[in-house]
Chain A
Amino acid sequence: MNLRNKLVLLAWFFGMSICSLIAQSSVSGVVTDSETGEPLIGASVLVVETGSGTVTDFDGSYTVRANEGGELQFSYTGYQTQTVFVDSRTSIDVQLLPGELLDEVVVVGYGSVKKDDLTGSVNTIEAETFNQGAIISPTNLISGKVAGVQILSGDGQPGGNTNIRIRGGTSVNASNEPLYVVDGVPLRSGDGVAGSRNPLNFLNPGDIESMTILKDASAAAIYGSRGANGVVIITTKKGESGAPRITYDGRAFISSAIGEGQVLDADAFRRTVTFVSPSRLELLGDANTDWYDESLRAATGTQHDLSISGGGESNSYRASIGYQFLEGVVRGADAERVSLNLNFTQRAFNDKLTVTTSIKGNVNNNNFDNGPLGAALTFDPTQPIFDPTNLEYAGYNEYDLTLAPRNPISTIDQISNEGTAYRAIGSLDLNYDFDNLIPGLSFKTILGFDVEDGQSRRFVPTTHATFTASGFDGEFNNNNQRRNSRLLETYFNYTRSIGSSQFSLLAGYSYQDFQNSGSNLNGQNLETDVFGPNNFNVAEDIIVDNYIIENRLISFYGRINVNLNEKYLITASLRRDGSSRFSPANQWGIFPSAAVAWRVLEEPWAVGLANTFSTLKFRAGYGVTGNQDIVDYGYLPTYEFGDQRVRYQFGDEFITTVRANAYDAGLKWEETTSINLGVDFGFFNNRLNGILEVYQKTTDDLLFTVNVPAGTNLSDRVITNIGSLENQGVELTLNAVVIDKPNFGFDISGNIAFNRNEITQLDGQGSADILVGGISGGVGNNVQILRVGEAVNSFYLFEQRYDERGRPISDADAEDIDMYVDQNGDGMINDEDLRVIEQPAGDVLYGITGSLRLNKFTLDFTLRGSIGNHVYNNTASSRGFLNFIGNQDGFLKNVHPSAVFSRFRSAQFFSDFYLEDASFLRLDNVNLGYNFGQLGNSQINLQLYATAQNLLTITSYSGLDPETGVNGIDNDRFPRARTFTLGARLSL
């Protein structure tokens, strides 16, 4: 139906354009290089009014049909574009001037520089090249686009959280997330407030103008202690002077879950029970229920974005409103977002003063799923969903047993878990030009605030089995959280040219404080269900706790940029940062950086090279950045009161307890020193260009929670500065304009990044070998390790032995055959036989994006892949053993199908049988667009597009999805969705 409509529209459009051609006359001419006079082959000639055009032939000549009063635009890669009025001419020859079209400007910390003048590793992605239809998080807009930048989403929740790793993680216990700076306001780190899924959801992707990634320390060091994991600078769209422009963007989504539940179906389950647990056959039911499938749905969604922008002589504005509603593919989960964005700029005093205000606000309403999938994979498939006689559980079929799984459909239908989160970020940006006092001097102040307020309300009615099977009736949780931040940034900028050299100087001060407070209220044993989570009085037992945390960052910073004769570029910066998280003796840290670049082609002797290269720039950078993203007050000795549930009986009284907390008075900054070497190159007037970079990042004084020698502190583990970590890598980016004709174009870009991560030292009083990577199944089971010489979170498992038929040796086999390799040969298999094997992070990450343009059609795609990433399949290991079926009384549990192959009788959590190579290649995004241009004589432009996300994944991983977030442990995830989007963009 939709396709048919579209065909009709297309036919109509073609008919219209043919009609308009009749009124035109023919224009022809030759396009040449203004310096050499050589004809330019394949230069574009565009008829501005109609959007049609042609390219020059081998002689540089062209013929187009154009209106008498119209304009022709001539362009050629590496040359300046010229626009010429046709007047009444029929022959127009044009000489194009070589050189850049425009000086492309790139945003860097506290200012911007010409792209050619960059000395560090900085990548900017403009809105035009964003992934279309990114619906999980704003960060997905750049997924696969930048070498060495990995966007990790753990699962497929609508509006879900993502993690970004830029050139590998630099820390173990402190944060590994980059700093986000939105319109000059640095955001706090950490998760969203209560009731939200992703702290970045306040941003409507449609409002984002560009995202810039500062990858290396020479670029990021201006952000000092917050720059160790790179910086993502997000700039929102601003208005432009002129008549009001209105745009509307509407989309409809439909999603379905990828993959099927990995369970035995009812028939296979009956056969398996007969074989494995014949004494429990009477527990089988008569139904055939696919619990996993029953828990999922085809999810729909809509999005509407409306914006208006414009401005006068001395001001400009842009206002937008966005609405998005997305269902999750798991029943019960959804996300709604309403966002507002307002930017206003006013210039005054002969344009010396520029005032920009920016306000971004949003409200997120979320419904969270209540984890029905784990139960869906476990619940006996021979049992029915409903049992109308079971009124105690509202007619759902449930086991009246504490340890039994809960009916997932009852969980979906009965448990509610809503969240509401508000976030508003406002800034006032004053820029004053002191040219008449000291030429080249300007001053800038940014005042900003960031307020978040969230609430989550979870309600389990008395008719749900979670509590009633345990003899308890109903529960609610009501969590409130408020986070505030205030910002003051002030800096001077001084620019001066001497001859053909320029230098600029920046010096500034920054103050930002953060408050985080909230309370959690838990009520149990409800008198009635009618009020849901909204009436505390009906709970028999109430538990309340609260928290108040503050921290503060104060900084002084400076930077010098020097451009010597357009050949040599030098950048040096210094930041002195203070953080309230350290004791007065360690509060201040100094973070320097320096970088140089050499534009070889500007050298007089390089004329010969210029025949081959159109760009050749070598860069070298060094910088130190810090990390202070740890818990607050860790350096202070404190005493903490216990709550009312951990009191102790003295006589007839219960005494509230006071504990002395552990602390490390000597806590200090984690420091990452990085070196970056790069070369920017371009051929054929930059139609083929690229960047090659190598880097090394060494993190010292790692902030690390380690076992301290017993007796030296008040707990077994303390966060302290210990050890070192290293990341080394190579990145290559290539961009090619393969075809560039007025009606036909094809661009392709590819990037590939190799990164190696290693813990190089864990010295001092800390211990090596810390087990991490907790899994589901048992308590306190860890499958990963932190060990010197290995990558962070390397897997640490037994080496499974296999029989000659390739089946794993099982505990069902003869007793004298070891299941695992006895690594130390001592005749026993115990934890000394565990070995380090593989790691969650990929060795190679790559992305390929392409853009095809044919007449008014555009086709864009993003392919993304990873090689060498490994996943521990916890969904399989937690249920993949035959005793799992009947190891509890009164009910049966479904097993993971791998148990039928492995024949494991009891759990084998530490077998590397469950560790899999999860390398993948994924067709992330395909977008097909059609630009109608102006609709008839109206002022309205129309674009239609269709997007498919997650269309195809090639992997050998046996679980649902090879991408499992940061830690590489796959456990009953919210499945990722394949999403189709249809959209229309109207502009006026």
Chain B
Amino acid sequence: MNTLSKLIFLLLLMSAAACTDLDLVPQDRADPNTILSDEENYEPFLARLYAGLAITGQLGPGCDPCAPDISSIDEGFGNYLRQFFQLQEFPTETSVIGWDDGSIRDLHEQSWTSNNEFVRAMYYRIFFQVSQANEFLRETTQDKLTERGIRESFWSVVDGFRAEARFLRALSYWHAIDFFGDVIFYTEEDEIGSEPPVERSRADVFQFIVDELAAIESIIPAPSAQEYGRVDKAAVWMLQAKLFQNAQVYVGRDLNAEAITALEKVLDTENYQLEETYQNLFLTDNNLSAEMIWTIPFDGDNTQGFGGMTYLTHAPVGGAMDPADFGINGGWGGIRTTPEMVDLFPGGANSADSRALFFTEGQNLEIGEDVDIFENGYGLPKFRNVSSEGVPGVDGRYADTDFPVFRLGDAYLMYAESVVRGGGGSRDRAVQLVNALLERAYGSSAQNITDADLTLPFILEERGRELYFECHRRTDRIRFGEFSNNGVWSWKGGTPAGSTTEAFRDLYPIPASELLANPNLSQNTGY
């Protein structure tokens, strides 16, 4: 028995020198080196940088659990385009929403604070894009490609991808300085987990964007020489023009001449032409329109979510509107417009202007006391999930319609504005371009303008009529000095009749959470 005991004892001692291996690697995802050793995976990574504007995570709607990009807010709410729309359109006369979602009504009332979750979501969305683009640039250097044994013939493809990544980063940095003024600044040089980024002035970041765009201009393919959905040179010029035209606001410099230069490149390409019917620009087959310079594509089967165009086609539908007419499974009964928006059109809702896409049946013109009742305020269902032939989108829950980021009609009005602001160019051409838009709007030249009509107030109003809901309105109004302390519309300032607000609201506050997290940041004046 003693021997047996000893034997067992020994065996047990041996077994105690057991396994201590704790390194487990995931099986349904992988580390960057594994993924990027296959050149097939570079395009999917680039596609994700674009998709950051359209989708919200790596699993489609209804997932449980999900894989959201940002989690400070409900995933569908946190979509880039949805936030961009809410921050650009809600605080203006174009739209009002009556939902009970957190402080969403503060956006139209211009009473947001640094805790506003939608401002916060936009902020984190912007820098999510910057961080992903930085990661792409960090992981696709020639050193890394060599290290992973990527063949040299593929390097030039990667160079093109890198230029597009830099464009997308520049776009988001533009949104950052437009919304927030001075912002954090970091590039691919700053590794993950490093010190919090420093704050840089709006002017510094502005210069960075301008330099970046100049650097990639030669690498990005010529207009229309790029696949649909990806940026070409015309998109670069449009972004340059946007920066230059708003330079007075951003850096206190008049760069309208530079804006004219960039816009002339767009106008002179002849690759683009105005869509014949205004409404067709906002329907499911708008990807076929020659007016589009760059869009964010959506697809009911492949690019789903509750943000983006799904939101823009559903939220304005309610009341007596039949969802089937809009190609959707049901309206969300949210967005309406103000009487001041209706007044922009001669003749109001019954205007001969084909851009007046109001829905009035069962709706009241005035919003009155109850913002939460959908009937208060005319409907304005601009984006629809039906084709120009009236065919509904493939899936009524998710839109097929693409979002026009840059289109020729905008370039026309931008050119006219920079001409009026003294940036050079030709007044004749400007009048001609504006009239082209008006002729489309009215189907005749009856409402055409003359040189004398081409004034700044006219252009602000015309941009309202032509480009409402396309996420320009807040920036436009600020450029014209008509956003906060000037201009009154229903429920601005939190009263049914509307009132002005303080000028500091031209900038959104840095989110409180970010201010606490990053000691390098300072809050914008007034907040």
Q: Given the complex of chains A and B, what is the CA–CA distance between A769 and B196 in angstroms? A: 19
Chain B: which residue is nearest A510 at the CB level? B18
Q: How far is B320's CA from A465's CA once the two chains are assembled, in angstroms? A: 20
Which residues 745-779 in A have Cβ within 8 Å of B in the complex? 765-770, 777-779
Nearest-neighbor residue (CB-CB) of B20 within chain A:
A554
Contact assessment for B514 and A709 in the assembled complex, using a CB-CB cutoff below 8 Å = yes
Is B372 in contact with A664, judged by CB distance below 8 angstroms? no
How many angstroms between the C-alpha atoms of A469 and B30 in the bound complex? 42
Against B, the Cβ 8 Å flags (1 = close, 0 = not) of A698-715 are 000000011111111111
A770 nearest in chain B by CB position: B513
- Whether a CB of chain A sits under 8 angstroms from the CB of B404 is no
Q: A439 at interface (Cβ–Cβ under 8 A)?
A: no
* A654 close to B299 (CB less than 8 A): yes
Cβ < 8 Å to B, chain A residues 603-635: 632-633
Please state if B303 and A580 are interface contacts (CB–CB under 8 Å).
no
A658 touches B41 (CB 8 A): yes
A470 near B329 with CB under 8 A, answer yes
Q: Contact: A403 with B333, CB < 8 Å? A: yes
Identify B330's interface contact among A469, A663, A666, CB under 8 A.
A469
| A658 in contact with B31 (CB, 8 Å) | no
Residues of A within 8 A of B30 (CB): 638-639
The answer on a CB contact under 8 Å between B22 and A637 is no
A522 to B62 CA separation, bound complex (whole angstroms): 10
Residue of B nearest to A888 (CB): B333
Docked pose: A437 CA to B6 CA in angstroms: 7
Residues of A within 8 A of B128 (CB): 714-716
Interface size band for A: 35 or more
Q: Are B2 and A436 in contact (CB under 8 A)?
A: yes
- Say what secondary structure dominates the interface of chain A: loop
In the complex, the answer to whether A649 meets B116 with C-beta atoms within 8 Å is no
Nearest-CB residue, chain B, relative to A277: B373
Is the beta-carbon distance between B131 and A713 smaller than 8 angstroms?
yes
Known: A709-B514, A830-B111. A636 touches B70 (CB 8 A): no
Chain A residues, CB < 8 A from B9: 434, 437, 443
Residue of B55, B139, B513 touching A646 (CB-CB under 8 A):
B55
Shortest C-beta distance, B320 to chain A (Å), equals 7
The residue in A437, A549, A647, A663 that gathers the most chain B C-beta atoms within 10 A of its C-beta is A647
Complex alpha-carbon distance, A705 and B515, angstroms: 17
- The reply to whether B50 and A708 contact each other, CB–CB distance below 8 Å, is no
Q: How many whole Å from A222's CB to the nearest CB in chain B?
A: 17
Q: How far is the CA of A358 from the CA of B514 in the complex (A)?
A: 54
Compute how far the CA of A349 lies from the CA of B43 in the bound complex, rounded to whole angstroms: 69
CB neighbours of A549 from chain B (8 A): 26
Partner of A643, one of B32, B58, B518: B58
Which residues of A from 399 to 437 have beta carbons under 8 Å from B? 401-403, 432, 434, 436-437
B504 vs chain A, min Cβ distance (A) = 14
Checking A642, A660, A883 against B373 with a beta-carbon cut-off of 8 angstroms, the contacting residue is: A883
Instruction: Provide the residues of chain B in CB contact with A53, threshold 8 Å.
Output: none
Chain B 389-402 near chain A by CB (<8 Å), digits 1 or 0: 00000001100000
Bound-complex Cα distance A490 to B14 (A)? 11
Complex CA gap A548/B27 in Å reads 7
Contact assessment for B20 and A437 in the assembled complex, using a CB-CB cutoff below 8 Å = no
A77 at the interface (CB under 8 A from B): no
Task: Name B130's closest neighbour in chain A (CB-CB).
Answer: A711
Q: Please name all residues of chain B whose beta carbon is closer than 8 Å to the beta carbon of A639 when the two chains form the complex.
A: 29-32, 35-36, 41, 45
**What is the chain B residue whose CB lies nearest that of A549?**
B26
Q: Are B6 and A649 in contact (CB under 8 A)?
A: no
With most chain A CB atoms within 10 A of its CB, the pick from B55, B124, B228, B513 is: B513
CA distance A601 to B48 in the complex (A): 73
| Bound CA span A657–B48, Å | 5
Q: Is the CB of B100 within 8 A of A638?
A: no
Cβ contact within 8 Å between B135 and A660: yes
Q: Which residues of A contact B70 (CB under 8 A)?
A: 715-717
Whether the pair A831, B115 counts as a contact (CB closer than 8 A) is yes
Most chain B beta-carbon neighbours within 10 Å: one of A522, A636, A709, A883? A709
Chain A residues with Cβ below 8 Å from B333 are 403, 888-889
Identify the closest chain B residue to A492 (Cβ). Answer: B12
Beta-carbon contact of B113 and A830 below 8 Å: yes
The chain B residue with its CB closest to the CB of A707 is B513
In the complex, the answer to whether A765 meets B518 with C-beta atoms within 8 Å is yes
* B41, A584: Cβ atoms closer than 8 Å: no
Query: Please, which residues of chain B bring their CB within 8 A of the CB of A551?
Result: 24
A642:B16 contact, CB within 8 angstroms: no
Q: B230 CB to closest chain A CB, in angstroms?
A: 6
Q: Is A803 an interface residue (CB 8 A)?
A: no
Q: How far apart are A689's CB and chain B's nearest CB, in angstroms?
A: 42
A547-B28, A658-B48, A769-B512 as given contacts; A402 in contact with B193, CB under 8 Å: no
Asked whether B1 is an interface residue with its Cβ less than 8 Å from the other chain, the reply is: yes
In Å, the complex CA distance between A580 and B22 comes to 5
Is A661 close to B, CB under 8 A?
yes
Whether a CB of chain A sits under 8 angstroms from the CB of B222 is no
Q: Which of A264-272, A676-684, A731-739, A903-911 contacts B (4 or more CB under 8 A)?
A: A903-911
Q: How far is the CB of A654 from chain B (nearest CB, A)?
A: 4
In whole angstroms, how far apart are the Cα atoms of A488 and B18 in the complex? Answer: 10
Contact of B517 among A587, A651, A767 (CB under 8 A): A767
CB B185 to nearest CB in A, in angstroms, measures 8
Contact, CB under 8 Å: A710 / B184: yes
Distance A443 CA – B324 CA, assembled complex (angstroms) = 75
* Contact pick for B228, options A471, A543, A651, CB 8 Å: A651
- Contact of B464 with A by CB under 8 A: no
Whether the Cβ atoms of A710 and B67 lie closer than 8 Å is no
Which residues of B have CB within 8 Å of A717?
70-72
B120-157 at interface with A (beta carbon < 8 Å): 123-124, 127-128, 130-132, 135-136, 139
Contacts of A712 in B (CB 8 A): 192-197
Q: Does A472 contact B (CB under 8 A)?
A: yes
Chain B residues with CB under 8 A of A656: 44, 47
**Which of B47, B61, B362 is the one whose CB lies under 8 Å from A655?**
B47
Known: A636-B25, A709-B197, A906-B372. A660 touches B32 (CB 8 A): yes
Q: Which residues of A contact B409 (CB under 8 A)?
A: none
A663, B131: Cα distance in complex, Å: 13
The interface residues of chain A lying within 8 Å CB-to-CB of B362 are 889
Neighbour of A580 across the interface among B23, B71, B73, B124, CB < 8 A:
B23
For residue A169, give the distance in angstroms from its CB to the closest CB of chain B. Answer: 21
Contact B517 A437 (CB under 8 A): no
Select which of B69, B103, B303 is within 8 A of A649 by beta carbon.
Answer: B303
| A659 in contact with B48 (CB, 8 Å) | yes
Contact B71 A705 (CB under 8 A): yes
Chain A, 881-912, CB within 8 A of any chain B CB: 883, 886-889, 905-907, 909
The answer to whether the Cβ of A690 comes within 8 Å of any Cβ in the partner chain is no
- Which residue of chain A has its CB nearest to the CB of B332? A403
Residues A643 and B60 in contact in the complex (CB < 8 Å), given A654-B299, A658-B44, A766-B517: yes
Instruction: Decide if A323 is an interface residue (CB 8 Å cutoff).
Output: no
Question: Do residues A715 and B71 form an inter-chain contact, with CB atoms below 8 A?
Answer: yes
B449 at the interface (CB under 8 A from A): no
28 contacts between A and B (CB under 8 A): A432-B8, A434-B5, A436-B5, A437-B5, A471-B396, A472-B396, A509-B18, A549-B26, A639-B29, A645-B60, A647-B51, A649-B297, A650-B228, A656-B47, A659-B48, A665-B193, A709-B514, A710-B127, A710-B517, A713-B131, A767-B515, A778-B101, A780-B102, A830-B111, A830-B112, A883-B373, A905-B370, A907-B100
Q: Besides A716-B70, A778-B102, A779-B99, 16 other CB < 8 A contacts?
A: A403-B332, A470-B330, A551-B24, A641-B44, A647-B302, A650-B229, A658-B41, A709-B196, A710-B127, A711-B184, A713-B193, A714-B135, A778-B99, A830-B103, A889-B362, A906-B100
A contact residues vs B (CB 8 Å cutoff): 349-350, 352, 401-403, 432, 434, 436-437, 443, 445, 469-472, 488, 490, 509, 511, 520, 522, 543, 545-552, 554, 578-580, 584, 587, 632-633, 636-652, 654-661, 663-666, 705-717, 765-770, 777-782, 828, 830-832, 883, 886-889, 905-907, 909
Closest 8 CB pairs of A and B: A402-B330, A645-B60, A651-B227, A716-B124, A709-B196, A709-B518, A710-B127, A767-B516
